[in-house]
């Protein structure tokens, strides 16, 4: 696997190194030793699957706070997503900075997201499936979120939103809240 650090320290774009032969393709998508060598969390508490029926569906921006701050390894197993992460670490030089990456079933890229990063994505095609490996179990009391359209973040989503959960529309704007501080 090739580990490429993003503009947000600690977040990595990971490219599998496929081996192709007449039978097809084989690629490693997770290796404890390789993740450890890059200082990444290797503990997997749960795995999640998200199937999204409509192009333009937006999920996020979600994160969990201590004691259940989540690391995530995200990959798109069918279709395509526009993936966004936001650095919520108050002591980080990139605090409130965001990174946008296209993950598709064709490019097979993965995104490693450290704890205290908000994460969200928008589907670029119908019937898109996303697979997550999570470093912490979901704890509802620790769940928080940011508005996808928060003017402080100024995230440029590629297409109009067609589906979004009421909960994701209800997160307060950063200027009126105490997110991650």
**How confident is the model over 135-173, as pLDDT tens digits?**
999 999 999 999 999 999 999 999 999 999 999 999 999
Q: Which of 12, 112, 132, 148 is catalytic?
A: 132
The answer to whether residue 65 is domain-embedded is: yes
Tell whether pTM > 0.85.
yes
Q: How far are the Cα atoms of 32, 118, 138 from residue 9, in angstroms, in the given order?
A: 20, 14, 24
* Residue 12 a catalytic site member: no
CATH of the domain at 24: 2.60.120.10
What is the domain range of residue 95?
Answer: 2-176
pLDDT-derived band of residue 175, with 50, 70 and 90 as boundaries?
confident
For the chain, helix, strand, coil in percent to 5 are 10, 40, 50
Average pLDDT over residues 88-103: 96
Q: Are strands 117-123 and 57-64 parallel, antiparallel or unpaired?
A: antiparallel
The answer to whether residue 151 is domain-embedded is: yes
Look at residue 181 and tell me whether its pLDDT is greater than 50: no
Q: Which of 62, 98, 119, 179 is catalytic?
A: 62
Number of domains in the chain: 1
SS3 at position 6: coil
* Residue 119 a catalytic site member: no
The answer to whether residue 181 is domain-embedded is: no
The answer to whether residue 128 is domain-embedded is: yes
């Amino acid at each position: 696997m090739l580990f490429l650090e993003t503009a947000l320290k600690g977040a990595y774009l990971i490219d599998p190194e496929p081996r192709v032969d007449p039978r097809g393709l084989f690629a490693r998508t997770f290796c404890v030793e390789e993740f450890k060598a890059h200082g990444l969390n290797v503990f997997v508490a749960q795995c999640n699957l998200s199937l999204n029926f409509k192009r333009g569906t937006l999920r996020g921006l979600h994160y969990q706070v201590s004691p259940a701050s989540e690391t995530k390894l995200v990959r798109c197993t069918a279709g395509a997503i526009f993936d966004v992460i936001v650095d919520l670490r108050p002591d980080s030089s990139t605090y409130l900075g965001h990174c946008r990456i296209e993950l598709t079933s064709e490019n097979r890229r993965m995104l490693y997201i450290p704890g205290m990063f908000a994460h969200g994505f928008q589907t670029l095609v119908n019937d898109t499936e996303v697979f997550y490996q999570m470093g912490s179990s979901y704890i509802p009391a620790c769940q928080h979120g940011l508005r996808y359209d928060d003017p402080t973040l100024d995230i440029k989503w590629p297409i109009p939103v067609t589906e979004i959960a009421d909960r994701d529309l209800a997160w307060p704007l950063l200027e009126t809240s105490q997110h991650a501080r």
